[in-house]
C-alpha cells in the first residue's frame, strides 16, 4: 500500500472515532447536515478549548511582548475594501451550461463538467466572503461581511493598543475567533470548512528587523506543535511561490502537516510588510504610524503574521495521536494526546457497584473535578472501561478496589504504557498534577500488568 493510501484509511477511522465518541458531528445533522459546517460534541469542545488555551498560554500568558484582543466578527465594510478582500479574495469559477454546477477552474482536469460532461462557461471571479445586512433594510448601503480572517480586527486596533498598553516595538497582538469563507472546494472532514476558528498573531516590528523576526516565528511556531506531541517527521516548512503569494505578503511559508490525504497547510506565516497599516491609514484617514523614541521618527511598522487554524490543529493532533495495537488478542485504539490537550484528564473507575466502593469512588471524583475535567464510569468490565478511556485519550484512570477500603489507596493506570502505581487516596491530586505536567510515570511501578 502506498503511504497516501495507507493514511487515507486513517482519516476514515478518525471521522468514525470522532462521530462515535462525540468529538465532532455534522452540523444540523437531523436536517441532513449543512455542507462543510461541523459541530463539536462534548469531547471535541474540550479538545478545541485545550488547543486554544495552550496557544494563548504560549503566545500571550508566558510572554511580555504580546497582548490579547477580541474584536467583533462584523466590521465596518470599508475594512474589506482597504484589506483587498473585496477585490482580491476570490476564486475563479466556471459554470456548467447544462447542469449549472460550479467548479473552481484551477481544480479542473479536463475542459468539461466533471459531473455531467457538459460545456463550461469562461471563468468568472467569485468572492469568498459571506455577505449579510446590518439593520432592518436589505439594501446595498447596509451590506456587511462575516470576517474571512481575524487579522483585520488587530490592524484596525493597532493605535488603540499602542495608546492603552504603552507597548513599544517589537510587540504583538493575538486573537482567537471565528472566521467564515464561502469555500468552493471543501471536504477532508474539518480540514476546510465554511465556518472555522483561527488563532492569529500580528507581530509589529521595525522594518529591517522583519527578516530576523520572521525566522524567529517560523521556529517558535514549529516548536509549539512538536512540544504538544506532533511528530517532527509529520511537519515541514514550504515556501510560497511568487504565483501563490497573497497580495499583502512579501514572503510566506506554510507549516504543512502530513494529513491522511497528504501534505497540506496547517498554519501560514507571512511577512506582510507595511501593507495593512498603510492601507487602513489611507482608507480611514487616521494616522496609524508609530513614534520611534530612539530615532525620533514616525514610522510604519512591518508585520509578521503567524496564522493558525484551531480546527486544522485539532485534526492534526487527532491524526498524530491515533494508534492501534494488539492487546490480549483485541485491537486497542489509543489517542496518545498530550495531557494538556486530552479532553478528560482522568477517569475514576470503581471496580464494582458495591455501595462502599461507590462512596469512595464518588468522593474521589468530586475532589478531582475541582481541578480538571474528570469522568466517572462504572459500566461493564474494568478492561472495557480502560479501552473506552484509551480511545478518547484520557491519560490516567484511577481505580478503586476492595483493597482501597482497607489501605485507603487507589491505583493509577497510565494510558500509553498501561503501567499502574498504587497511591494514597489523599495524595491522588498531587500525584496526578505531577504526572499531568510531565513527571515520569514509571518511577516506582508496583506492577506492570497489562490491562
Ligand atoms: N490572516 C491570514 C490568513 O487568514 P490563511 O492561510 O488564509 O491566512 C490561516 O489562513 C489559517 O487558517 C490556515 O493555515 C488554516 O489553518 C486556517 N484556515 C483557513 N481557511 C480555512 C478553512 N476554510 N477551514 C479551516 N481552516 C482554515
C-alpha 255 to ligand 1 mean position (Å): 12
Strand partners, 50: none
Q: Whose CA is nearest to atom 4 of ligand 1?
A: 149
C-alpha 52 to ligand 1 mean position (Å): 15
For the Cβ of 320 lying below 6 angstroms from any atom of ligand 1, the answer is no
- Span 392-399, average pLDDT: 98
Least confidently predicted of 193-197, 324-328, 430-434:
324-328
Give the model's pLDDT for residue 4. Answer: 43
Q: Is 418 left (phi over 0), alpha (psi -120 to 50) or beta?
A: left
What is the rounded CA–CA span in Å between residue 386 and residue 377? 10
For the Cβ of 309 lying below 6 angstroms from any atom of ligand 1, the answer is yes
C-alpha 149 to ligand 1 mean position (Å): 8
Which of 69, 194, 198, when mutated, tests ligand 1's pocket best, judged by the most ligand atoms within 8 Å of its CB? 198
87-137 per-position pLDDT tens digit: 988 888 898 999 988 888 877 888 899 889 999 999 888 899 999 999 988
Q: How far lies 124's CA from each of 90, 102, 118, 151, 184, in Å? A: 9, 10, 17, 27, 13
Which of 264, 268, 273, 317, when mutated, tests ligand 1's pocket best, judged by the most ligand atoms within 8 Å of its CB? 268
Closest CA to 414 of 382, 440, 437: 440
For the Cβ of 269 lying below 6 angstroms from any atom of ligand 1, the answer is no
Q: How confident is the model at residue 7 (pLDDT cuts 50, 70, 90)?
A: very low
pLDDT averaged over the chain? Answer: 93
The count of other CB atoms within 10 Å of the CB of residue 194 is 19
For the Cβ of 265 lying below 6 angstroms from any atom of ligand 1, the answer is yes
Q: How far lies 383's CA from each of 284, 374, 388, in Å? A: 64, 19, 9
What is the rounded CA–CA span in Å between residue 326 and residue 344? 24
43-85 per-position pLDDT tens digit: 999 999 999 999 999 999 999 999 999 999 999 999 999 999 9
What is the rounded CA–CA span in Å between residue 112 and residue 129? 27
C-alpha 197 to ligand 1 mean position (Å): 8
Ligand 1 atom, smallest distance to 149 CA: 4
- Span 169-189, average pLDDT: 93
User: Is residue 449 predicted with pLDDT exceeding 50?
Assistant: no
200-238 per-position pLDDT tens digit: 999 999 999 999 999 999 999 999 999 999 999 999 999
C-alpha 128 to ligand 1 mean position (Å): 13
Strand partners, 145: 131
Q: In terms of residues, how long is the chain? A: 451
Q: How far lies 56's CA from each of 62, 63, 242, 311, in Å? A: 9, 10, 32, 15
- 68 touches 53 (CB < 8 A): no
For the Cβ of 307 lying below 6 angstroms from any atom of ligand 1, the answer is yes
Question: What pTM value is reported for the model?
Answer: 0.93
What is the rounded CA–CA span in Å between residue 76 and residue 243? 30
Q: How confident is the model at residue 451 (pLDDT cuts 50, 70, 90)?
A: very low
User: Is residue 140 predicted with pLDDT exceeding 90?
Assistant: no
Q: How confident is the model at residue 442 (pLDDT cuts 50, 70, 90)?
A: low
User: Is residue 184 predicted with pLDDT exceeding 90?
Assistant: no
For the Cβ of 193 lying below 6 angstroms from any atom of ligand 1, the answer is yes
- The phi and psi torsions of 29 (rounded to 5 degrees) equal -60, -35
Q: How confident is the model at residue 430 (pLDDT cuts 50, 70, 90)?
A: very high
For the Cβ of 183 lying below 6 angstroms from any atom of ligand 1, the answer is yes
For the Cβ of 253 lying below 6 angstroms from any atom of ligand 1, the answer is no
For the Cβ of 221 lying below 6 angstroms from any atom of ligand 1, the answer is no
User: Is residue 151 predicted with pLDDT exceeding 70?
Assistant: yes
How many percent of the chain have pLDDT more than 70?
Answer: 96
- Which residue has better confidence, 321 or 109? 321
- Span 385-401, average pLDDT: 97
DSSP state of 241: P
- 399 touches 411 (CB < 8 A): yes
For the Cβ of 256 lying below 6 angstroms from any atom of ligand 1, the answer is no
User: Is residue 9 predicted with pLDDT exceeding 60?
Assistant: no
Q: How confident is the model at residue 8 (pLDDT cuts 50, 70, 90)?
A: very low
C-alpha 264 to ligand 1 mean position (Å): 11
Give the model's pLDDT for residue 445. Answer: 44
For the Cβ of 313 lying below 6 angstroms from any atom of ligand 1, the answer is no
For the Cβ of 267 lying below 6 angstroms from any atom of ligand 1, the answer is yes
Ligand 1 atom, smallest distance to 148 CA: 4
Amino acid at each position: 500500500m502506498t503511504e497516501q493510501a495507507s493514511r487515507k484509511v486513517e482519516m476514515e477511522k478518525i471521522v468514525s472515532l470522532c462521530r462515535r465518541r462525540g468529538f465532532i458531528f455534522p452540523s444540523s445533522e437531523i436536517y441532513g447536515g449543512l455542507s462543510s459546517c461541523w459541530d463539536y460534541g462534548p469531547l471535541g469542545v474540550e479538545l478545541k478549548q485545550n488547543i486554544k488555551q495552550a496557544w494563548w498560554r504560549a503566545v500571550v500568558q508566558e510572554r511580555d511582548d504580546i497582548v490579547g484582543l477580541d474584536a467583533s466578527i462584523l466590521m465596518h465594510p470599508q475594512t474589506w475594501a482597504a484589506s483587498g478582500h473585496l477585490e482580491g479574495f476570490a476564486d475563479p469559477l466556471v459554470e456548467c451550461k447544462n447542469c449549472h454546477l460550479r467548479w473552481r477552474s484551477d481544480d479542473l482536469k479536463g475542459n468539461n463538467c466533471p459531473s455531467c460532461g457538459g460545456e463550461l462557461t469562461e471563468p468568472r471571479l467569485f468572492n469568498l466572503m459571506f455577505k449579510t445586512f446590518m439593520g432592518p433594510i436589505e439594501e446595498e448601503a447596509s451590506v456587511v461581511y462575516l470576517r474571512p480572517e481575524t487579522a483585520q480586527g488587530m490592524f484596525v486596533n493597532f493605535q488603540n493598543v499602542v495608546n492603552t498598553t504603552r507597548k513599544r516595538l517589537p510587540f504583538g497582538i493575538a486573537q482567537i475567533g471565528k472566521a467564515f469563507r464561502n469555500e468552493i472546494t471543501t471536504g477532508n472532514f474539518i480540514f476546510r470548512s465554511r465556518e472555522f476558528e483561527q488563532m492569529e498573531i500580528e507581530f509589529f516590528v521595525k522594518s529591517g528587523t522583519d527578516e530576523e523576526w520572521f525566522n524567529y516565528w517560523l521556529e517558535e511556531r514549529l516548536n509549539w506543535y512538536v512540544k504538544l506531541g506532533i511528530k517532527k517527521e509529520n511537519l515541514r516548512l514550504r515556501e510560497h511561490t511568487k504565483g501563490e503569494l497573497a497580495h499583502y505578503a512579501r514572503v510566506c511559508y506554510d507549516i504543512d502537516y502530513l494529513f491522511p490525504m497528504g501534505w497540506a497547510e496547517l498554519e501560514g506565516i507571512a511577512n506582510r510588510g507595511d501593507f495593512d497599516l498603510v492601507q487602513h491609514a489611507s482608507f480611514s484617514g487616521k494616522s496609524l504610524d508609530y513614534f520611534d523614541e530612539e530615532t525620533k521618527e514616525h514610522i510604519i511598522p512591518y508585520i509578521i503574521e503567524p496564522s493558525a487554524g484551531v480546527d486544522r490543529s485539532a485534526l492534526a493532533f487527532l491524526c498524530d495521536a491515533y494508534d492501534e495495537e494488539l492487546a490480549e488478542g483485541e485491537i486497542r485504539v489509543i489517542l496518545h494526546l498530550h495531557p494538556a490537550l486530552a479532553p478528560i484528564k482522568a477517569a475514576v473507575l470503581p471496580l464494582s457497584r458495591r455501595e462502599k466502593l461507590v462512596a469512595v469512588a464518588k468522593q474521589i471524583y468530586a475532589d478531582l473535578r475541582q481541578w480538571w475535567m474528570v469522568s466517572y464510569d462504572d459500566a461493564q468490565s474494568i478492561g472495557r472501561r480502560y479501552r473506552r478511556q484509551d480511545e478518547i485519550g484520557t491519560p490516567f484512570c484511577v481505580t478503586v478496589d476492595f483493597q482501597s477500603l482497607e489501605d485507603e489507596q487507589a491505583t493509577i493506570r497510565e494510558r500509553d504504557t498501561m503501567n499502574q502505581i498504587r497511591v494514597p487516596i489523599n495524595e491522588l491530586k498531587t500525584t496526578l498534577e505531577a504526572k499531568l505536567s510531565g513527571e515520569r510515570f514509571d518511577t516506582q511501578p508496583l506492577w506492570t500488568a497489562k490491562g
